[in-house]
Amino acid sequence: MVMSDVIIEFDGVERIYGKGHAAVRALGGVSLQVQEGEFVAVMGPSGSGKSTAMNILGCLDVPTAGHYRFRGVDVGALTRHQRALLRRYQLGFVFQGFNLLNRTSAVENVELPLVYRGVPRGERRRLAREALATVGLAGWETHTPAELSGGQMQRVAIARAIVSQPSVLFADEPTGNLDTARSVEIMELLTGLNRDRGITVMMVTHEPDMAAFATRIVRFRDGHVESDERSGRVH
């Protein structure tokens, strides 16, 4: 993967919750750059600031001070509506708990982001089928989550995250509910998307063996970046 432009930048980002004696500094002036096409694992103990950082990156929160820039645009200066559009058109999300609609087929779950974009039904269905095929689920389109294994449900969730062709994929403990074999399959899938499609991946994980799939590991502690290292892995 050839690195090119900076896609994500934290410039002295602080996030403080509450006021006065009750104030909690979740992030204490974090500066960080991510190049387009990187695969970054984000690690750190509970309360380290990694979840706060990911919420800001995902446009769910804004810094108290400092700047978060996405492709050079100061996200904190955007309106709530503009941040929602950034999420919808540039970002994809994968969660530990899959977050699928239980009574809805795999292909309909994958179509959801396209519904919000107003994509016509026929086009939605075509793109959703393509995304399911990309994650190895061709032929499973009509199955509901109850008819799928945990690994298959996470594949549906990844298909949903990539169907809108995001620039960045945020994965929050994507293997947390899976056994080792399924976890490796999911990590190989994410690695392939990063390598073959150039999708920038930011993944939170507690598992060092999963973080080892990334090309870079950033560790948070007490609201600061404790370490930022290349893993030596090349995609």
In the predicted model, residues of the chain with pLDDT beneath 70 are 1-4, 232-235
**Can you give the pTM of this predicted structure?**
0.91
Q: What is the pLDDT of residue 97?
A: 86
Q: Show me where the domains of the chain are located.
A: 6-230
Question: Strand 24-35's sheet: what is its strand order?
Answer: 24-35, 6-17, 65-70, 73-74
Specify which residues 227 forms β-bridges with.
Answer: 219
Q: What percent of the chain has pLDDT over 70?
A: 97
Q: What is the pLDDT of residue 1?
A: 40
The set of long-range contacts for 151-155, using a CB threshold of 8 Å and a minimum separation of 24, is: 151/178, 151/182, 151/185, 151/186, 153/98, 153/100, 154/94, 154/98, 154/178, 154/182, 154/186, 155/186, 155/189
Query: What's the pLDDT tens digit per position in 49-101?
Result: 999 999 999 998 999 999 999 999 999 999 999 999 999 999 999 988 889 99
Query: Tokens for 129?
Result: 């089928």
Amino acid at 7: I
Q: What is the pLDDT of residue 98?
A: 87
Q: What is the pLDDT of residue 93?
A: 94
Query: Tokens for 116?
Result: 């919000």
CATH number of 6-230: 3.40.50.300
